[in-house]
Structure 1
Amino acid sequence: MGSSRLRPPAALPDAHARTRNLTQFVTFLVLKGSRGAGSRRRHIGRLVILVLSLLTYVAVGAWSELAIEPLQAKLQQPGAPQPEPSQPTPSAPPPAEPSPPQPSWPQPSQPAPSPLPGQAEPSQPAPGPAQQAVVGPTPSLPVGYTIGASDVLAITVWDQADLGGRFVVDGDGTFMFPYIGRVKAGGLRLQELETELKRRLKEGYFKDPQLTVVVEQYQSQRLYIVGEVRNPGTYPLTGNMTLIEAVARAGSTLPTASYEALVVRNPNGKKAEGPVLPDEAGGGNVVRVNLKALQSGAPDENVQLRNGDTIFVPRAETVYVFGQVNSPGSYAITQGTTVLQALSLAGGVTDRGATGRIKIMRIVDGEEAEVSAELTDAVQAGDTIIVPERFF
């Protein structure tokens, strides 16, 4: 019997044919190996794994021919758009958070030092738009201050630095100055003393002396602050001091202070040896100031102080609120305070209070009297407001 030999099939042109031929070829190898010794049959499992691997490889090749190759051929045609290489898109920076506006505080102007004799004043550049800011008013200098005993003067002579220094005014109003001896300063203003020193120095010592005089320590003029302030006492009168500046130096008023301050002036301009209370001075020498209006910025209430003035801040007038209120106790009032306002200071009436039967205990002609009151009635200093309980 003639033996028929198995031959590997010819390869087909397409991918499916190649896959079928490869499968037949592997089957041919398996069948051929099965005709051999029995030991070769044990390798069938290995060959099956080989077949599966080859099928996977062929399937991948077929997919590349059916999908990728036609796409590449289409892209290679003339006029076909070429894909741009992908570039990483730069991420836009996060929007900056708006910074809160910074307040532009006016910077205090610093006075330029006076030039030395014989030197030209330095030229200042014209201010630009950013430099033309509005600057607040500068504090008033004590140009009108009158020098007195115990004041400490700082005198600077620009062309003779060794002549300047600190000078204390003696009790007679004079002080010793180099070359010219005793100089009368008591009762003079600062500009007047400068003129006197220049005149004395020109008499055989200097041709055109340039000097300045300032008060380093104010000791000759003082005022007194008493009453409902945090730090009552004696304070030096510096320059053009006003009432609001003096009260600020005393630590401001206490919560128990009245809304009125009394400035007591000495009669005929006499120097006071201590504080003078309102009942010790005549009515014409007492200036009444509304502190509430002063705190609101009323310029007319800001009194110009003088040497020896006494600032007296009295205790506020009070009323007492008891009964069916949330916070019974003593409360400061002003002139014209009503019963309703006094009850508001006490936290208001409770839900058990009877607002229609409010009573006021008041001292009339030295005796205590009971007065029926309405909510719109004005109270007086020392009144005791009683809110009774409702019947139902």
Structure 2
Amino acid sequence: MKRLLLISSVLMLCACSIPAKVELPPGQDLEQGHRAGEALAGKPLPPQRIRPGDTLRIVRNTGEAPSISAFTANSIYELTLFTVLNDGTFSYPYAGQIKAAGLTPQQLTQVLESKLKNVYQDSALTVNINQAPGNTVFVGGSVRNPASLPVTVTTTLEQAIVGAGGLLSVGDSRNIALLREGEDGRYKTYFFDYRKFMIAGNAGAAPVLLQRGDVVFVPKSSVGNGIEWVDVYLNQLIPFTKSIGIGASYEINRQSN
């Protein structure tokens, strides 16, 4: 009886350590995700949005610049730089505390010009993202080297997967997921058949450009999940319970004698 309880405890412990399986969405939702992915392929990226931690460069288009005798060229440049705080705001002269996170540079330009129109005769200015510390994409799941990778304006989904070492043999190449944050701050999921990127010409899929913050996830195929089951239960669990069973039997028999 004691041996049975011990082995049952081991089984429960090992079951808790089995990696969780990430389920694909139901068939209809998966098809819709693939259609959304096909619509996204080959399209230019949406305008980049400002995030906490970004450094903005804001320059008035007209008006007197500070005297070079009063400031060095370097300090004049620094006067145009503003860092977005963790709460998504920054302070701008005569405009006060401004909420910038989630806006595009063009949208922020309109906000500032509106606030400054009663201060300057011509309030026109230009806003650019000067530095973006979190300029990365994340690649995980059934790839050889899950990692966060730097992203440029020309980085594609295919390049990111190659940069992460490529797909594992257990990966589901037909249902690669791209999670992208929308304007509402929530992720929207797109699905792609990676095999189509390997086809040259018009028959193949168009490149999918990535933007910072994107998450690329490669799920396990049904074969991959089967291989994992074999490895956990046959190669790890059974030998372990056999060794525990022998030791437990010896201890129980010794105590009963």
Where relative contact order (Cα < 8 A, 6+ residues apart) is larger, the structure is: 2
Q: Under a length normalisation based on structure 2, what TM-score does the superposition of the two structures give?
A: 0.47
Normalising by structure 1, what TM-score? 0.33
